[in-house]
Structure 1
Amino acid sequence: VQNGARVITECGVNKIVTENGKVTGVDTTQGFIGARYVINAAGVHADVLSRTAGDDSYSIKPRKGEYILFDKAVSHLVNSVLFPTPSKVSKGILVSPTAHGNVFIGPNAEDVADAQDVATSSQGLEGIIAGARRLVPAIPLQAAIVQFAGLRAAAGSGDFIIKASDTVAGLIHAAGIQSPGLSAAPAIAEKMVHILQEQGMTMKLKESFVAATLPRVHSSELSYEDRQQLIANNPLYGRIICRCESISEGEIVDAIHRPCGARTVDGVKRRTRAGSGRCQGGFCGPKVTAILARELGISVTEVRKDSQQSYLFYDKMPVECEVVSHD
């Protein structure tokens, strides 16, 4: 975004539009967007979108993985990632620290038919607990704060699909990217550049390219003196909204007003970790909602949790009462 890219949010893609075997754009919920090249990185939906362009060369099978996340109070449990011996299907159940001081266990690996199925199950959670206990017998289940599931986009070939389409000019695939894709992302991006050049796209280096990301304040990581100076400059950094993660109002406001800033409660959570702690937003959620409403200039009833219809609060509804006598 700092370098001129435009991010269009809440814009569902209906299909990739082609003409005479060439990509001409995408049909979306916000209208037609013309393009000579389309990189299909649609995760568990990549094969469906590919078929709309006339390329049915691969299939994606959603593979669910369930997790349990533990409170920071048991961060001492492990200090490195513990892996069991992997199988052909999965790396197995991990016990792992996170970058922010929690510990998690999981995931399992269950092929599912529904690409929207991120529900957890008692059977699945029992399975990851049993797997984790083979590595760390004293798993502190009393410190679990949240359970969740995610989907890996497992390609039928069993490997990443990173290539130009063999049948549609201008269509580039970045599909079947399972969990190693996070660390592979920079290399995949460079590969995309090479493929686009091979497909005939002319590129030149941008002389005014900004390489550094915008600075981000984490007030809890500052020294006492630096924090006092920060609060003196902006008192919002002295008001703690999320007590579990020590996130200030200043950090939340900054997350809202940055380029491609937060527009939902979960958007704030992903950028600042407000709501990621022990109470999972039970205390700070209403305050974050009020800050979003204030900073975005909308009513509280317009604030959403995450997706388009995930409204959190509603206006008072009139109730019609009928008095019945029982004399």
Structure 2
Amino acid sequence: MNKSSVLEFVFTGLTDKNELNIPLFVIFLHVYITTVLGNVGIIIIVMVDKHLHKPMYLFLSNLSFVDLTYSSAITPKLLKDLLSETKAISFAGCAVQMYVFVSFATIECISLGIMAYDRYVAICSPLLYGVLMSGTLCFWMVVAAYVIGFMTALVHTISLFLLNFCRSNIIDHFFCDLPPLYKLSCSDTSMNLAVLIILGGLVSISCFILILFSYTNIILAILRIRSAQGRYKAFNTCTSHMTAVSVFYGTIFFMYLRPSTSYVLQQDRVASVFYSIIIALLNPFIYSLQNAEVKDAVKSFLKYF
């Protein structure tokens, strides 16, 4: 009896105003192309430039891959729907889209924490950096992020799609996300919401605490720098990183770590654009192109063309 009678879902999309579909398509097409070029470019540059074969750039290239993957799980379908009258997705397709997105969004959370810790060790314990951030340890940290991301998404996906969807099949959103799907179920979702808050809170809050710890100690170390120019450059880098972290974690906390009664799906769609599409666009520029070594690597790479 716990089987769904729904064979497909239909998205309402970003807007119900048809005249905005073409402008939005043009905007998000440019955003997606820039996202792909930026993230693929970072991955290639880190791979081909031997000077960037360091833990910091391993994490940067991994972050680019994560951003590219979860953005690709959502944006192409969004672009297609903006030009379509019926914004449908199959039941299985919805499950796959949600699994990929939740997996890589979780990996993104953990990756941001790892990157913050890497910078903390580099700035606060430079003499021990080679020991504390060895290549083997960095590799297993990345592997652990993927294992946690895949397992977390598997729990959410299985528990969600075992629910009974016997009501409307219209998702008031532009992709298969947890809160709007909970709204459609005619089963009791209290356990799902509890699992969402517990697992989501455990991962995101733990990583956020690690980021706060790392950057607090980084800032204290920066304040001990005698050179005003050195302090300015270091603060500028931290500000860029914390801007990306604040946008990502702010929208994640807003979307998932609050009572279901406070969900306002029209507003949530706008917030979802930031962490599902915009962050993947910004990260290559914030984390990489403001780095002097990456800039030099890009210039050297472009000389071959």
TM-score by length of 2: 0.25
- The structure that is helix-richer by fraction is 2
Higher relative contact order (CA 8 A, sep 6+): 2
- The structure that is strand-richer by fraction is 1
Larger Rg: 1
